[in-house]
Amino acid sequence: MAADMRLPTAGEQISSSSLSLLDGKHLVVPGDVITSDTGFMRGHGTYMDEEKLTASVAGEVERVNKLICVRPLKTRFNGEVGDVVVGRITEVQQKRWKVETNSRLDSVLLLSSVNLPGGELRRRSAEDELSMRDYLQEGDLISAEVQSVFADGALSLHTRSLKYGKLGQGVLVLVSPSLVKRQKTHFHNLPCGASIILGSNGYIWLYPTPGQQDEEAGGYYTSMEPVPLSDREVISRLRNCLLVLAAHKILLYDTSVLYCFESSLSHQIKDILKPEVMDEIVMKTRQRLMEQEG
Amino acid sequence: MAGVELLSDQGYRLDGRKASELRKVQARMGVFAQADGSAYIEQGNTKALAVVYGPHEVRGSRSRTMHDRAVINCQYSMATFSTAERKRRPHGDRKSSEMSLHLKQTFEAAVLTQLYPRSQIDIYVKILQSDGGNYSACVNAATLALVDAGIPMRDYVCACTAGFVEDTPLADLCHAEESGGGTTLALALLPRSRHIALVQMDARLHQDHLDMLMEAAAEACRGLSKVLDGVVRQHLQEVSVLTRD
Amino acid sequence: MASVQVSEAEKVYIMHGVRDDLRVDGRGCEDYRHMVIETDVVSNTDGSAKVSLGHSDILVGVKAEIGKPRALVPDEGYLEFFVDCSANATPEFEGRGGEELGIDLSNTLYKVFNNKHSIDLRSLCICPGEHCWVLYVDVLLLQCDGNLFDAISIAIKAALFNTRIPKVHISEDAEGGKEIELSDDPYDCVRLNVENVPCIVTLCKVGQRHVVDATLQEKACSVASLLLAVTHKGMVTCVRKMGGGSLDPESISEMTETGKRVGKALHAPLMDLLKKEEGLGKNRQKVGFLR
C-alpha cells in the first residue's frame, strides 16, 4: 500500500459572499470597548476598565437582556452544574479520584458520589476507601455529570445513575469543547449501529451498542469480548467523521454526526481524512443540514 | 561608528527602509491543533513560533501553586539552525533564561491571572530564524497565541525595538543594525492604555535622546498593534464563518 | 516519548482491531497516515524540510560548515545530528525534560547513517586530511503524535535532497599553504545524492501482530517495537529493538519482512514528490506555517 505523500496547499481565503453571513455578529478582540453604558451587567470574557465594559478575549458578544458576555472561539471546558462529561482518572487519592476533563483544573469525583457495585446504599466505610482501586484505576474512562462547582472553579462530578459510570471498550475522540452543542441528552444510540456519548468537555466516546443483557450489570462490568468487525467499521468511520467535522468547525450533535456518516459511505474509511475527501463530505453534510433547517 | 553605514545620507537604511519604517509582518494563528493556542509570526527575516498550554492544573512542583491567581510559565528557545553561526544549545544558557524571565514579566502584566486561581499557563516560544528583534517577535507571537487560546487579557502586548543613529531614531532593528554598536531599546507596550510592560536598553545614550527614542519605539509598537489586530480579526471572521448554527 | 494514558478496555479494543486488520482510524496494519512534505522552509540554512505525519510536525535544517576530517578517515566528511524535542510538543519537554528523548533519537540516527553507502562521504572531502564539509543536521520536533523516527527520517532525506553546498576553489598562496575560497554565486553549488539514504520504519508489536506508523494510543498498547532502516533497494542498514518487552525470533523475522516491504515502498513516492516540487521552481508558493 503506497504511502500517501503530498505537497502542502495554500488554504482558501473566505469569499465575500460568505462574509455577509457575519452581518449581525458582533466580533471583538481583547481591549475593544463594548459599551460605555453603565446599565449592563458584566459577564464572562469582559472586564471593567474605568467605567467602560471592555472585552478580554477574542470572540462574539452575547447579550441576554442586561448581561453582556463574550464567548471566545476556543477555550478550555468551563463546566456548569448538570453538564455530562467524559473524563479520565489521573489520580487515586484518599476518598476521591482526580479526573482530567480538559478544564482549567482537574475535576474531583468523591467516593460518596459513586454507586457501589451491586447497587447497595450505605455509608462508605474504611474498607471502601482501601478498595477504591478495584472500582476505578488510573487511566480508566468514566462518564459523569457535574454535581457542583468549587469556589476556585474545579468541578465535582457524580455517577449516581445507572447511565453513568466506567466506560468499557470503545474509542475516545478529542475535540474542542466549544464545538459540542448543548442538548437535552448527550447519550445517543445512532441508527448506523454504534452509540455515542457527546461529553460537553469535548471528549466524545464511541462504543458498540450494548446488547439487552448488559443493561442489568450496573456500572462496573466491562466486557472484554472482541467487538464484531461490522461494529468496528461503523465506529472507525464515525471517529473519522467526527475529526472531519471538528476540523471544519461544524457543531457536533447527533444529527450532524449522522449526516456526515451517511455522506461518507461512498468512500473507504481510511480515505476520509484526506483533504479533498474531507471537503467533499463537509459540503454534503452542510447542504443536508441547511435543507433540514430551512 | 566604523564600517557599515547604518543610515545613508538620503535617509535609507541597510535594507532600504526609511528610519521609522517597520519590516513586513505576516502572521497566522492556530498553527498547531494539539496545543490550546498557537501562532506563527514573521517580522522581516525573523520567524517565531509560540505555543500556549493552559490554563491547567499545576504540574511538577505543587509548591508553585498560587491560591489567588494563575502561574505563568515561559520558556524561550532558539532553533540550532536559527542563527548564521550554528547555536549549540537551544536553551538553558543565560541569555535564554533571561529572555524567558522577561517574557514572564511581560505577560503577567497583561493576562488577567486572578481569574484562574491555582492553575498554570505555559507559554513556549521558539525562534526559527533570527535576524534581530527576537524578543519583539516572541512577544507578538505569544500575544497571538494567547488570544487563540481564549485566555483573557487586558489588551494586546506589542513589542518593538528602536535604535539611535546620528540623532535619528530607527524603528524595528535588524541583526546588522543591532550589532552595529549603537543603542538598542526594546519596548513592550499595551497599545490602548499606553502602559509599558517592559523596557530594556543596552549601550550608552544621552539623557536628552531618551524621550525621542521611547516615543519612536512606542510609535512602532502602535503600528505593529494595528497589524496584529488585523490578523486577529481576520482569523475571527474565518472561524466565525465556519461555525454557523 | 510523550505518552497518553489508555484504559484497559481501550487496550483490548485496539488489540482486537489490530488482529482483524482494522485499526481505530480505519487503516490496515501496513498503512501510513497522510503526509505533507515541503522543503526550503528556513532560508538561512543550506537545506531544510518540514514533514507533517498525522499531527506530528518535524522541521529539519541542514547547515554545511568546513571542518577537520576525522583522524581515521581523512578523505571523508561527516554528518552530525542533533534532535531538539521542544516544549512546543508537550509541556513534559520543558527545560531538560526533552533531552533524554532527544539524545536517544540522535544516537539512533548516528547508527543508521554510520555506513559507507547511505551518503557518499567522500564527496564531502575538500582537502584530504585538512578540510572537509561537516553537515550539521538539526531536527526540531514541534508536535508529537507517534511514529517520530519515520517522520524524522523522511524529513532528513528531503532536507538532504534540498541541501546546496557551495563549491570550493582551492588555491595555493605565497607560503605554500592552501586557501579555500567559497563560490559567491548562489547557483554554483553541489547537490548530494540521496538515492541511498535509508528511511526508517518502526514496527510496533500489538498483541500477536505488528503495525506500521503507530499512533500514541497504539504505542501505549505495545510492549516492544522494532526499528528498521531500509534503502530504496530494500536493503536493511540498521535494526534496533526498542521498548521494554521482549520479542520472539519468529516475530522479529516477520516484522523484518514487513519492514523491508513497507520501507522499500516509501522511497519512490518521496523522490517523485521531491522532484515534482523542485520542478515547480519559482512558481512554487511557499507555504511554511503561513497557511
Report DSSP letters for B61-76, one per residue. -GGG--SSS-EEEEEE
Q: Is the model's pLDDT at A14 over the cut of 60? A: no
Measured CA to CA in angstroms, residue C12 lies from A215, A226, C211, C215 at distances of: 21, 8, 15, 16
Split at pLDDT 50, 70, 90, the class of B87 is confident
Q: What is the model's pLDDT at position B139?
A: 95
Contacts of C143 in chain B (CB under 8 A): 32-35
Verify whether the Cβ–Cβ distance C88 to B75 is below 8 Å. Answer: no
Verify whether the Cβ–Cβ distance A7 to C37 is below 8 Å. Answer: yes
Mean pLDDT within A183-197: 91
Q: Which residue has the cell 482526580?
A: A98
Q: Shortest Cα distance from B33 to chain A (angstroms)?
A: 9
Q: What is the model's pLDDT at position C201?
A: 93
Verify whether the Cβ–Cβ distance B81 to C55 is below 8 Å. Answer: no
Domains annotated on chain A, with CATH: 26-72 (2.40.50.100)
Which triple of cell numbers denotes residue A183?
442538548
Q: Is the model's pLDDT at B201 over the cut of 60? A: yes
Contacts of A1 in chain C (CB under 8 A): 28, 30-32, 265
Which CATH class name applies to C18-279?
A: alpha beta
Q: Shortest Cα distance from C99 to chain B (angstroms)?
A: 11
Q: What mean pLDDT is reported for chain B?
A: 88
Verify whether the Cβ–Cβ distance A27 to B156 is below 8 Å. Answer: no
Contact call for residues C233 and C264 (beta carbons, < 8 A): yes
Which range is least confidently modeled, A19-28, B212-221, C216-225, C259-268?
A19-28
Residue C49 is which amino acid?
A
Q: Does B238 touch chain A (CB under 8 A)?
A: yes
Please say whether the dihedral angle defined by the alpha carbons of residues A224, A225, A231 and A233, taken in this order, is positive or negative.
positive
Q: What is the model's pLDDT at position A221?
A: 65
Q: What is the model's pLDDT at position A18?
A: 61
Of B119, B150, B233, the CB nearest to A57: B150
Contacts of C9 in chain A (CB under 8 A): 141, 167-170, 222, 224
Contacts of C136 in chain B (CB under 8 A): 80-81, 86
Cα atoms found within 13 Å of the Cα of residue C194, Cβ hemisphere only: 25
Interface ipTM > 0.85: yes
Question: In a mutagenesis test of the B interface, which of C46, C81, C82, C84 is the best target, namely the one with the most B β-carbons within 10 Å?
Answer: C84
Ordered per-residue pLDDT tens for chain C, 291 residues:
556 888 999 999 999 999 999 999 888 888 899 899 999 888 888 999 999 998 899 999 999 988 888 888 888 888 999 999 988 888 888 888 888 889 999 999 998 888 777 888 888 888 888 888 899 999 999 998 888 999 999 999 999 999 988 888 877 776 666 777 777 777 778 888 888 899 999 999 998 898 999 999 999 988 899 999 999 888 888 899 988 888 889 989 999 999 999 988 889 999 999 999 888 877 777 777 876
Contact call for residues C51 and C139 (beta carbons, < 8 A): no
Q: What is the model's pLDDT at position B14?
A: 84
| Model pLDDT for residues B25-57, shown as the tens digit of each residue | 999 999 998 899 999 999 999 999 999 998 998
List % helix, strand, coil for chain C (3-state, nearest 5): 30, 30, 40
DSSP B173-208: --HHHHTTTSEEEEEEEETTTTEEEEEEEES---HH
Verify whether the Cβ–Cβ distance C44 to B75 is below 8 Å. Answer: no
Contacts of A31 in chain B (CB under 8 A): 153-156, 190-192
| Model pLDDT for residues A91-106, shown as the tens digit of each residue | 999 889 999 999 989 9
Q: Is the model's pLDDT at A1 over the cut of 70? A: no
Q: What is the model's pLDDT at position A257?
A: 93
Split at pLDDT 50, 70, 90, the class of A2 is low
Contacts of B28 in chain C (CB under 8 A): 289-291
Split at pLDDT 50, 70, 90, the class of B1 is very low
Q: What is the model's pLDDT at position C182?
A: 76
Which range is least confidently modeled, A159-163, A234-238, C177-181?
C177-181
Q: Shortest Cα distance from A79 to chain B (angstroms)?
A: 14
Q: Is the model's pLDDT at A219 over the cut of 60? A: no
What does the angle CA B181 – CA B185 – CA B190 come to, to the nearest 5 degrees? 160
Neighbours of C (≥3 Cβ pairs closer than 8 A)? A, B
Contact call for residues B108 and B15 (beta carbons, < 8 A): no
Q: Shortest Cα distance from C87 to chain B (angstroms)?
A: 6
pTM > 0.90: yes or no: yes
Shortest CA distance from B121: residue in chain A: A104
Verify whether the Cβ–Cβ distance B240 to A106 is below 8 Å. Answer: no
Give the rounded percent of residues in chain B with a pLDDT score beyond 90.
Answer: 47
Cβ-proximal residues to B193 (8 Å cutoff; 6+ apart), any chain: A49, B154, B155
Q: What is the model's pLDDT at position A217?
A: 46
Q: Which residue has the cell 528610519?
A: B19
Q: What is the model's pLDDT at position C161?
A: 92
Q: What is the model's pLDDT at position B137?
A: 94
Verify whether the Cβ–Cβ distance B155 to A31 is below 8 Å. Answer: yes
Q: What is the model's pLDDT at position C122?
A: 84
DSSP C169-233: EEEE-TTS-EEEEE---TT-EEE---TT--EEEEEEEETTEEEES--HHHHHH-SEEEEEEE-TT
Q: Which residue has the cell 454557523?
A: B244
Higher pLDDT residue, B181 or A196?
A196
Q: What is the model's pLDDT at position A16?
A: 55
Where in chain C are the domains? 18-279
Of A222, A239, A268, the CB nearest to C24: A239
Which triple of cell numbers denotes residue A141?
474512562
Q: Does A272 touch chain C (CB under 8 A)?
A: yes
User: Rounded to whole angstroms, how far apart are CA atoms A15 and A23?
Assistant: 14
Shortest CA distance from C288: residue in chain A: A8
User: Rounded to whole angstroms, how far apart are CA atoms A282 and B240?
Assistant: 16
CA trace torsion B49, B53, B59, B62 (10° rounding): 100
Q: Does A88 touch chain B (CB under 8 A)?
A: no
Higher pLDDT residue, A219 or C256?
C256
Q: Is the model's pLDDT at A17 over the cut of 60? A: no
Q: What is the model's pLDDT at position B243?
A: 67
Q: What is the model's pLDDT at position B245?
A: 46
Omega before residue A30 within 30° of 0, cis: no
Cβ-proximal residues to B137 (8 Å cutoff; 6+ apart), any chain: B41, B43, B46, B47, B48, B127
Q: Is the model's pLDDT at B3 over the cut of 70? A: no
Interface of C with B (CB under 8 A): 42-45, 48, 55, 57, 59, 61-63, 65, 82, 84, 86-88, 91, 94-96, 136, 138, 140, 142-143, 145, 289-291
Mean pLDDT within A260-287: 90
Q: Return the CATH architecture of domain B25-242.
A: 2-Layer Sandwich (3.30)
Split at pLDDT 50, 70, 90, the class of B220 is very high
Q: What mean pLDDT is reported for chain A?
A: 86
Verify whether the Cβ–Cβ distance C138 to B79 is below 8 Å. Answer: yes
